[in-house]
């Protein structure tokens, strides 16, 4: 029971550390993007993926370095939780970093949260409580060497797929796939920590020669890199949401199938309900957060209610209409020829008279102007120069 409590506390600390880490690293990515925009430098490739140089610049940003430090604390807490708790409980508690990310994002990144995000976040929190109540305190399994090697080979394949995906799928798809792949890799770390040999009793030779140790190293390094690229590609809440789904769902299923993780007798339905609720809540946050990131703070606000996407700019329609009806290049080419313009033939008085006549006829409050549009008035004096007559009547 004491180890169970230690595991729960460690998982909660890991959730806080990972949430702070994600926001700080997203801040670093945003600052690098803003600096590049000020300097007129491009930070994306033809496919929409960030360049290697922009990712390297993000790595050395002070906020990103502080966020990386928080990853170390999160990893330590997550490792303790994975050793002392069923994986479906430990990983679901750790996935509460989504809540921390959302709350800190409103403060540090100025991300506005609507009612739909709050509903989804609290759905995740309540689902975690259900999992905590229903989970068993028993852990075990995973001693077979074949399982260790299989986990390592699966990790290598997932790393290769994730690296190819984030650089070839474009902005939105690359961010979501990268976030989910990073979550799976972080979940694999929890599985590997759970089955790692040479921990109790401590045996450094057995620990270093265990394929599970190699799995931890590969999944940690590639998962960290993939998450960084995903934060450059997409919105922080959307990336984090799919990350926690991968981080929770994969290890939980593996734990139940291979590692003898179970719920308390008679509470299996409650564990399933809590697990499904946590996944649905995370998916909702991912769905509404999977829009283009606003690294420069210039994008329109998000739509309210349950609508997805950003608001349309108010002047977009008028600008579009004006661009269709008026083409300066076409006007210059067809209506005005500088070579045919003769300054000596230009009469300012006649031009002024025509302007007064046009204004007089277009006045909607003048019945005479409306009559003029239909034809000459019966009582109007005949004149060869209508322009001058219109001007004189206007002046009188």
Q: What is the pLDDT of residue 284?
A: 78
Query: Position of tokens 């401590």?
Result: 202
Cα angle value 12/17/22 (rounded, 5°): 125
Please, which contacts does 351-354 make with residues 24 or more away whose CB atoms are closer than 8 Å? 352/391, 353/387, 353/388, 353/390, 353/391, 354/387
Query: What pLDDT digit, counting tens, does each position of 312-345 carry?
Result: 555 544 444 444 444 555 555 555 555 655 556 5
Pick from 97, 61, 43: nearest CA to 296: 43
User: Angle 78-80-81 (CA atoms, 0-180°, nearest 5)?
Assistant: 65
Give the residue among 356, 348, 350 at the shortest CA–CA distance from 372: 356
CA gap 203, 21 in Å, rounded: 32
| Token duo for residue 258 | 């291979």
Higher pLDDT, 152 or 201: 152
d(CA 377, CA 314): 45
- The answer to which of 1-10, 23-32, 113-122, 354-363 has the lowest mean pLDDT is 354-363
pLDDT score for 338: 58
- pLDDT of 259 above 60: yes
- Mean pLDDT computed over 191-210: 86
Instruction: Identify whether 50 is preceded by a cis peptide bond (ω within 30 of 0).
Output: no
Task: Tell how far CA 243 is from the center of its chain.
Answer: 12
Tens-digit pLDDT profile for residues 149-179: 999 999 999 999 999 988 888 777 888 899 8
Q: Which two tokens stand for residue 221?
A: 């390094």
Dihedral angle sign, alpha carbons of residues 343, 347, 353, 354? negative
Q: What is the pLDDT of residues 86-117, one digit of tens each?
A: 877 787 788 778 888 888 888 888 777 778 77
Of the chain, the percentage scoring pLDDT greater than 90 comes to: 16
pLDDT at 336: 52
Q: For every residue of 104-138, which 3-state class applies, written as one string?
A: HHHHHCCCCCCHHHHHHHHHHHHHHHHHHHHECCC
By C-alpha distance, which of 226, 82, 239 is closest to 155? Answer: 226
Every domain of the chain and the residues it spans: 2-289, 316-395
Distance in angstroms (rounded) separating the CA atoms of residues 261 and 252: 8
| DSSP-assigned letters across all residues of 190-246 | HHHHHH-SSTTTT-HHHHHTSHHHHHHHHHHHHHHHHHHHHHHHS-HHHHHHHHHHH
Whether the full predicted model's pTM is greater than 0.75, yes or no, is no
Closest-CA residue to 394 (of 350, 355, 364)? 355
- Over residues 131-154, the mean pLDDT reads 78
What was the pLDDT predicted at 320? 45
Our CA dihedral for 317, 323, 326, 330, rounded to 10 degrees, sits at -170
- What is the reported pLDDT for 319? 46
The model's pLDDT over 262-294, given as tens digits with 9 standing for 90+, comes to 778 888 888 888 888 877 887 777 676 655 554
């Amino acid at each position: 029971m004491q180890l169970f409590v230690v595991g729960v506390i460690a998982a909660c600390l890991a959730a806080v550390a990972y949430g702070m880490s994600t926001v700080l690293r997203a801040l670093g990515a945003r600052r690098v993007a803003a600096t590049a925009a000020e300097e007129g430098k491009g930070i994306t490739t033809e496919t929409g993926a960030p360049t290697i140089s922009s990712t390297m610049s993000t790595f050395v940003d002070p906020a990103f370095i502080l966020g990386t430090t928080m990853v170390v604390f999160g990893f330590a807490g997550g490792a303790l939780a994975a050793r002392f708790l069923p994986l479906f409980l430990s990983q679901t508690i750790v996935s509460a970093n989504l809540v921390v990310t959302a709350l800190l994002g409103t403060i540090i990144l100025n991300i506005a949260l609507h009612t739909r995000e709050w509903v989804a976040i609290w759905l995740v929190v309540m689902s975690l409580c259900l999992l905590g109540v229903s989970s068993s305190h028993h852990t075990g399994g995973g001693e077979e060497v074949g399982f260790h090697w299989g986990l390592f080979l699966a990790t290598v394949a997932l790393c290769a797929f994730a690296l190819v995906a984030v650089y070839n799928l474009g902005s939105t798809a690359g961010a979501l796939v990268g976030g989910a792949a990073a979550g799976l890799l972080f979940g694999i770390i929890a599985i590997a920590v759970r089955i790692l040999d040479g921990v109790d009793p401590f045996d450094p030779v057995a620990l270093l020669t265990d394929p599970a140790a190699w799995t931890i190293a590969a999944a940690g390094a590639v998962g960290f890199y993939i998450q960084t690229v995903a934060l450059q590609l997409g919105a922080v809440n959307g990336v984090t949401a799919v990350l926690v789904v991968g981080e929770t769902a994969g290890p939980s299923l593996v734990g139940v199938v291979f590692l003898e993780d179970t719920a308390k007798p008679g509470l299996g339905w409650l564990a399933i309900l809590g697990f499904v609720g946590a996944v649905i809540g995370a998916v909702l946050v991912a769905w509404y957060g999977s829009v283009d990131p606003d690294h420069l703070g210039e994008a329109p606000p998000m739509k309210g209610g349950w609508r997805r996407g950003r608001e349309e700019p108010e002047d977009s329609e008028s600008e579009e209409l004006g661009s269709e009806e008026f083409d300066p290049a076409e006007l210059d080419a067809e209506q005005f020829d500088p070579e045919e313009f003769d300054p000596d033939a230009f009469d300012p008085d006649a031009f002024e008279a025509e302007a007064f006549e046009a204004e007089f006829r277009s006045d909607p409050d003048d019945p005479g102007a409306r009559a003029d549009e239909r034809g000459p008035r019966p009582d109007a004096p005949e004149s060869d120069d209508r322009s001058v007559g219109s001007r004189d009547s206007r002046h009188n």
